[in-house]
Structure 1
Amino acid sequence: MTGRHAPETLIARYADGSLPDADAWSLEKHLESCASCAGRVSGAVRATAAGAVLADVRDAVLAAATPAPAEAPPLRTPRLLWAAAPAVRGAWLPAVLLVALGAVLLAHVAGFSGARPLLLAIAPVVPVAGVALSYGRHADPLHELAASTPSAGLRLVLTRTAVVLAVSLPLLTLAGLVLPSPGAPGAAAWLLPGLTLTLAALALGGWLGLRTATAVTGGGWLCAVLAPALAPPDGAVARHLSDQLSAYVGGAATQGGWAAAAALCAVLLAARRTAYDRLERF
Structure 2
Amino acid sequence: MTHRDSHPWHVGDDQATRYAEGTLPEPDAWSLEKHVEDCARCASRVSAAVGGTAAGTVLAAVRAAVLESAPGAAVSGEPVPGRAATAAGPARASAGGAGGRPVVSRFARLLWAAGPAVRGAWLPAVLGVAVAALALSYGAGFPGARALLLAIAPVVPVAGVALSYGPHADPLHEVTAATPGGGLRLALTRTVAVLAVSLPLLTLTGLLLPASGAPAAAAWLLPGLALALASLALASFVGCRAAAGVTGGGWLCAVLAPMAGAPGGAATLRLAEQLSRCLDGVAAQGAWAAAAVLSAALLTARRPAYDRPLRP
Fold match, TM over 0.5? yes
Match of 1:266 in 2: 296
Match 1:165 to one of 195, 202, 227 = 195
On the 8 A contact 2:184/2:306 being kept in 1, the answer is yes
Which AA in structure 2 matches 1:222? Answer: L
The structure whose residues are more often helix, as a share, is 1
Match of 1:69 in 2: 4
Match of 2:65 in 1: none
Deviations 1:206-232 (A, max 9, x none): 111111111100011111111222531
- Shift of residue 243, structure 1, vs aligned partner: 0.4
Query: TM-score, normalised to structure 1's length?
Result: 0.71
- Alignment partner of 1:184 is 2:214: yes
Distance 1:85 1:214 in 2: 17
Aligned ranges for residues 21-60 of structure 1 at < 5 Å?
Answer: none
Match 1:80 to one of 105, 110, 122 = 110
Match of 2:278 in 1: 248
Distance 2:124 2:291 in 1: 30
Match of 1:155 in 2: 185
Which AA in structure 2 matches 1:240? Answer: R
Query: TM-score, normalised to structure 2's length?
Result: 0.65
On the 8 A contact 1:116/1:180 being kept in 2, the answer is yes
TM-aligned CA distance change 1:85 to 1:197, over 3 Å = closer
1:260 alignment partner, SS class: helix
- Alignment partner of 1:199 is 2:229: yes
- Shift of residue 142, structure 1, vs aligned partner: 4.4
Task: Let me know the Cα RMSD of the aligned residues.
Answer: 2.1
Match of 1:114 in 2: 144
Unaligned runs of at least 5 residues, structure 2: 9-34, 39-104
Unaligned runs of at least 5 residues, structure 1: 1-65
On the 8 A contact 1:193/1:258 being kept in 2, the answer is yes
Distance 1:85 1:200 in 2: 19
On the 8 A contact 2:167/2:311 being kept in 1, the answer is no
Larger displacement relative to structure 2 (75-84 or 222-231): 75-84
Which AA in structure 2 matches 1:94? Answer: P
Q: How many residues align?
A: 217
Larger displacement relative to structure 2 (85-94 or 72-81): 72-81
- Shift of residue 148, structure 1, vs aligned partner: 4.2
- Alignment partner of 1:237 is 2:267: yes
